[in-house]
Each structure stands twice: as C-alpha cells, then as structure tokens.
Amino acid sequence: MMRVLMFGWEFPPHITGGLGTACRGITRGLSQLEVEVIFVLPKLYGGEEHEGGMASMVAADSVRINSNTIKDCMTAGLQTDDVRWVEVDSCLVPYQTEEEYYRTIASQHTTSCLRVDGGGVTYGFEGGYGADLYSEVYRYSMVAGQVAKDYDFDVIHCHDWLTYPAGIEAKRVSGKPLLVHVHATEYDRSATGSVNPRVYAIEKQGMDMADGIVCVSQWTKNILVEKYNQNPQKISVVHNGIDNVFEAKGTTPKVYPKLVTFLGRITHQKGPEYFVEAAAKVLKKDSDVHFVVAGSGDMLHSLIERVARMGLSSRFHFTGFLKGAVVQRLLKISDVYVMPSVSEPFGISALEAAGCHVPLVISRQSGVSEVVDNALKVDYWDTDAMANSIYALLNYSGLKKSILKGSSDELRLLTWKAACQKLKNLYSQLIIDEK
C-alpha cells in the first residue's frame, strides 16, 4: 500500500476556512483508493481522527526531537535571518553531553514553546495564525525532520506555505519526493499586488524545492508561472471536490422570503464590498430581499459602517464566523449564494452552497468557475451584472430551476475520490521518477 506523509496546518472540526475542508476531503478520498495517509498537524484539538477517516493523525507538539535532529536542522540552514525559532548557537559546544545540551537550550530559550523531557525536547504550538506564526512555521519544520525519521512513507505532500519548510526538511532527511499543494498564493491573499515578501519567499522556495506542484485551478497555475517563475510542466491542476450533497430544501423553516448569502473571510480578496454595492442595486428593484454576510476579517467593521451609511442596515445581517452544521443550516434557507471574489484560487464554499441546492452567482476570477458551468458568472467589479444576476435568480423561477438541475448533475462528477485519483497518479509518477 502506498503511504503518504502529509503536512497540514488545520483540519476539521477546527478550521478557519477552505484549507481544512480540502485536507479532510483529500484524506478521505485517498483512503477510498487504499492510500495510507500520515497527517501531521501542529497540534490536535480533538475530533480530527473522526473527520480524517482512515488517516493517522500526528500532533507536532507531541513529537520528541533528539539533539542530533536539532543539530542537523541547524546545519541544513533552516534558520533564516528574519526568523529565529530557537536560540541554539551557543549550545552547540564540543563534548557537551545530551543532558547538558537540553538543559542549556531550556535555560536560554525565551518562550514557553520548548519542553525538555528526559531523552528529548518537544515544541508547543498554538496551531493558529497568531503573532508567532513565522516562528511556529520553522519550529514545525524541525519537527518534520524527526517525523521523517520516525515513519516509513513513499512520498511527502504539503499544503500551502505554512508547511513548505516542513516538507523541505522531510525531503532532506528521507530523500523521498516532495509534492507541494498550492491552495492559495500570497498574490491571492493580498489581491492588490502588494505581497508579504517573507511569505512569498517561503512559497517560492517550497515550489523550487518540490519535485512536483499541484494547484487547485488553472487560475492558480497561471499565477505560479507568471509570479513565481515555475515551469508549467512541473504543475498539475487538481480541482477540489465535494462529497456531500444535502437533502432538498423544505426541511429548514425560512426566516425571510428572499435571502441572499455571502460566506467567506471579510477581506479584500473575497470582494465583500462588491457584494454590498450589488445588494444596494437589487434593493432598488426589490425591497423584499435580505442579505447575510457570514464571516470575519479585517474589513468587517468598515463593511458594517458602509452598510449603515448606505441606509441598508435593516436588510443586512452580519453573523460572524460560522462553520459545520451552522453553515449548512444557513445555506439551506438561502435563495442565492454570491461569491464575488477578486482573486479566488478555487472557492470550495460555492460547491457547498450548490450541494445545499442554492443557485450560484460567482466571480469569473475564481477556480470554481472552471468546473461549474451551471452558475451565473460575472466579473467581480461589475456590480450591475452581479445585481442583475441576483435579481434574476430571485424572481425567475424557470432560470433558477434550470441552474439547480444542471449544478446537481455537475456535483455528481466533482467528488473528492475523483480528485484524489489524480493525486494518486501524481504520487506514483513521482515515486517512479525518484527511482
């Protein structure tokens, strides 16, 4: 049986967005194809084993690292000028015993992330996206070196930039091929072209060092070629999937006669301001519509103020971040789902909405638009077209019925198992090339 060492940063039921959802779908899909996954996370919060199907979950904060692994990592140059995740330079003195080595690290380390435990050390992880994120990324890479020594596997698979240094270290230790999975890039997240140079550097290093790159759309592949100077022959496109198509509407009582939903991070990348502008134009033609903005992000406060200044507060509902069954309940009472993203690598929430029998209005600047034909597609900046599409789906039952019938047929083909068959083929090719 093929074995994959997989590095991720989040996993259901504890997620902040589509990355964790995709990781769950991939592990489950691979298990259906008899591929064994060893899935490493910074920490486990509980419940990941149930969500991961047959995957073996490993918490990085429980991995004991020996002194040789730490020294090997330092020699390999994992520490960078702008990220110092453990102060060990003065610890590496000749003839020091292992016990003295651990004591010295513990006495010099200035944070609570390091725990000394007899025969080794373990690192603590917040596991989120906080102020210590860069340090955690590099501590995680040190743990990856130890995991690569402790487990037997055939190929390494890393999800997004947070885990690329870990994958590089696992490759260095094991000599096994490395596949990096690009779910989003810094160019998507900034959506303005003003990228974080530290994140960009990590992303590019991961792509350069990888034996293969998989990305979630042709949209993303184009960015990798143009902005990261990657060879297009090295990149494979594997679109995301969905496994759950939920029961037809009617089981959840509606709150409003017409409800239009936005679900995602409240950031410029996701285009919430265009959603508000389109909503204002819809309300000029149909005042009986309500709009939900579900999510959190750095634009939330300014967006609420914008809605208030436009006099739309009575028609807007801000829920904050939602996940799991609550998302499903919201989608089931929605009449239209709108994804107005400025730069969307894929947009897995659109598939989830279609799975709940909600017609879609989606940005052409998205990966999901490559695989979903039965949706109304607009440019994110064209709020007139967006408003007209929303109005049409709310008021023309024949159009809505046709869209829903077509999207239901499409979803039957967009499964995680189908996506994972492509991943398995990529693994096999990487293994053959290595030999």
Q: What is the pLDDT of residues 307-322, one digit of tens each?
A: 999 999 999 999 999 9
Q: Which of 64-68, 333-337, 397-401 has the lowest mean pLDDT?
A: 64-68
As to burial, measured by CB atoms within 10 angstroms (0-12 exposed, 13-18 middle, 19+ buried), residue 433 is exposed
Beta bridge mates, 36 = 3
% of the chain with per-residue pLDDT over 90: 65
pLDDT in tens, 279-299: 999 999 999 999 999 999 889
As to burial, measured by CB atoms within 10 angstroms (0-12 exposed, 13-18 middle, 19+ buried), residue 259 is buried
- In this prediction the pTM is 0.85
**CATH classification number, 259-411, choose in 3.40.50.2000, 3.30.450.20, 3.60.15.10, 3.40.50.150:** 3.40.50.2000
pLDDT in tens, 166-183: 999 999 999 999 999 999
pLDDT in tens, 103-139: 444 444 444 455 655 556 777 776 666 667 888 888 8
Same topology, domains 2-82+128-241+418-434 and 259-411? Answer is: yes
CA distance 58 to 62: 8
Residue 102 has pLDDT above 90, yes or no: no
Q: What is the pLDDT of residue 85?
A: 30
Q: What is the pLDDT of residue 55?
A: 84
154 φ/ψ angles, rounded to the nearest 5 degrees = -110, -30
Q: What's 163's DSSP letter?
A: G
CA distance 189 to 62: 31
Cα 111–Cα 113–Cα 119 angle in degrees, nearest 5: 120
Residue 372 has pLDDT above 50, yes or no: yes
Residue 255 has pLDDT above 50, yes or no: yes
Residue 98 has pLDDT above 70, yes or no: no
Q: Which fold has domain 2-82+128-241+418-434?
A: Rossmann fold (3.40.50)
The structural domains of the chain, with segments of one domain joined by +, span 2-82+128-241+418-434, 259-411
Amino acid letter, 243: D
Mean pLDDT calculated for residue range 325-339: 94
pLDDT in tens, 64-95: 887 565 556 655 555 443 333 332 233 333 33
Confidence of residue 323 (pLDDT cuts 50, 70, 90): confident
5 φ/ψ angles, rounded to the nearest 5 degrees = -90, 115
CA distance 61 to 249: 43
As to burial, measured by CB atoms within 10 angstroms (0-12 exposed, 13-18 middle, 19+ buried), residue 59 is middle
